[in-house]
A = this chain, B = another copy of it.
Amino acid sequence: MTKYKQSILVRKDLKLPKGKLAAQCSHASLEAALKTSKSKLKEWKQDGSKKVILSVNSKEDLINYKLKASKLNLKTALIKDAGKTVLKKPTLTCLAIGPDKEETINKITKKLKLLN
């Protein structure tokens, strides 16, 4: 059976505090989900709306993974924080990919580690 998931890549180098991190991931998750077709959202929900939070090391990583995802026609949401609170200037913080077929997303993100 085809499985669906959403991967959210977060910059570890920013060392975001927990609340900021959770808000940024929520922005990314929602924005990418709203770009996704209703049929895919339904499949994803049936798989428990699986979300995986992964760690990357830099702004460049986020941009590169966005390009790779777009080449596979995956929906993405790249989030830029306005830089008015914890961060002092506008900053790319995270990237959501999907929800889409797990095997397609894994082609891009399989080497990334879970954020811990």
Contact = CB atoms under 8 A, between A and B. Distances in A.
Interface of A: 8, 10, 17-23, 25-31, 33, 48-49, 51-53, 55, 82, 114-116
Given A21-B22, A22-B26, A23-B52, 14 more contacts: A8-B22, A18-B21, A18-B116, A22-B22, A22-B115, A23-B53, A25-B26, A26-B26, A26-B28, A26-B30, A29-B30, A30-B30, A31-B49, A48-B82
Contact of A33 (B20, B30, B53): B30
**How many copies of this chain sit in the oligomeric assembly?**
2
Contacts of A18: 18, 21, 53, 115-116
A96 to B, nearest CB: 8
